[in-house]
Amino acid sequence: MSIKNTPAVRVQQWVVITSIVLFVLKVTAYFLTNSVAVLTDALESTVNVVTGFTGLYSLRLAAKPRDDDHPYGHGKIELISASFEGILILVAGLIIVYEALINLMHPHTVGQLDTGIMIVSFTAIVNYALGLWCIRTAKEQHSVALEASGKHLHSDTWTTAGIVVGLLLLRFTGIAWIDSAIALVFALFIIVEGGKIIRKTIAGLTDEADAELLKRLIVALNQQKRDNWIDLHNLRVIKYGSVLHLDCHITVPWYFNVNQAHTEVDSLDLLIAKEFDQSLELFVHTDGCVPPGSCRVCPIQNCEVRKAPFEGRLEWTLENVTLNQKHGMDLHPLSQ
C-alpha cells in the first residue's frame, strides 16, 4: 500500500476537506447573526484547517519507510504534529475567553438567529461524526496524530454545542450575555483538552515509559510464557508513530546453541506481535542461565544439569522485568 493510500492518510484528507467547508459555513453564520460567540467558533475552526494540513503532512511523512538518515523511521513527526495541534487548541481556547469577555462588557446586537442556529448545529454534527471516525481509525492504525485530530474535532463539537445552546437561550430570552457565558465554559473545556494532548506528546517525545503498555505486555507474557524463558529483564518499550520498538534480555538454558536461542526469540516476537497487532521491532539479548540461582526459577523438567531444585515460577511484574538484573536467588518472591 502506498503512503497516500494508508487508512490514516485517507481519513486525514477528509478532515482537511471537511474543515475548510465547515469554516466557510461558520463564517457565513457569523455574518448572518453578528454573534461574537459564532465568531469565536469560526476562529476555532481556523485551527482545524491549519492542523488538518499539518496532520496530513505528518501522517504522510510518518508512513515513509526508514532510511539511512532515520534508522528508526519517521514516526516521531506525528508527536510533533500533535504537539503543534495541542498548542493551537490552547490558543483557540484563550481567544474564545478573550472574545467572550469583550462581548460580556460590550454586547452586540444579533440577528437571523434561526438560520445561524441551523448552520452551526449542522457543523457540530459533522465534526462529531468525523472526529469519531478519526479516533476509531487512529486506534486501529496506532496513530497519535490522527487521534489528536479526532479529539480536536470533538472538542470543537462541544464548543459549537455550547454556542448553539447559548444562541437558543438568546433566541427565546433576549438576554445578550448568555451566549458569551456558555462560550466561556466550553473554552475552559478546550484548554484542558489541549493541555492533555500536549502532555501526551511530550511524554512520547521524551520517551517516557508507558506503564499501561508495559503492564498489558507483561500480562500477556505471564499467561503465555514458555518454560525455556527462564527469566526476562531490562524490558523497555518505545513507540515511534505506529511502530513499537521493544528491547529486553531473555534468559534461556546456558547449553542452548544459537539456533535454539533464536527459536525462543522468534516465539517471543510472535507473541508480542499478536498481542499488539501492529508493526513491531524487537531487539532481544539472550542470556544463558546461571546455576544455581537460575535453577530456582527454572520450570524445565528433567534438566540434566540442574544444580538446585525448582522452588517456584517467577511472576513477572512491572517492577521486576524493567530492572537490569537477572532474577533468581532471593531477589523476588516466587509463586508455587
What are 142-167's pLDDT values in tens digits? 676 678 778 878 877 887 887 788 78
When pLDDT is cut at 50, 70 and 90, the band that residue 323 belongs to is confident
Query: pLDDT per residue over 240-273, tens digit each?
Result: 655 677 888 888 999 999 999 999 988 888 888 7
- Largest CA-CA distance found in the chain, in angstroms, rounded: 91
The mean per-residue pLDDT over the stretch 6-27 comes to: 85
Radius of gyration of the chain measured on its C-alpha atoms: 27
Q: What are the structural domains, with CATH classification, of the chain?
A: 3-205 (1.20.1510.10), 211-335 (3.30.70.1350)
The backbone region for 207, taken as left when phi is positive above 0, alpha when psi lies in -120 to 50, beta otherwise, is left
Give the Cα separation of 280 and 315 in Å (integer): 24
Q: What is the pLDDT of residue 119?
A: 92
Check: CB of residue 162 under 8 Å from CB of residue 192: no
Q: What is the pLDDT of residue 129?
A: 92
pTM score of the predicted model: 0.56
Residue 68 has pLDDT above 80, yes or no: no
> Mean pLDDT in the chain?
78
Cα-to-chain-centroid distance, residue 120: 29
The CA–CA distances, whole Å, from 57 to 8, 49, 149 equal 11, 13, 13
The mean per-residue pLDDT over the stretch 210-216 comes to: 76
The CA–CA distances, whole Å, from 287 to 39, 265, 271, 329 equal 64, 11, 19, 16
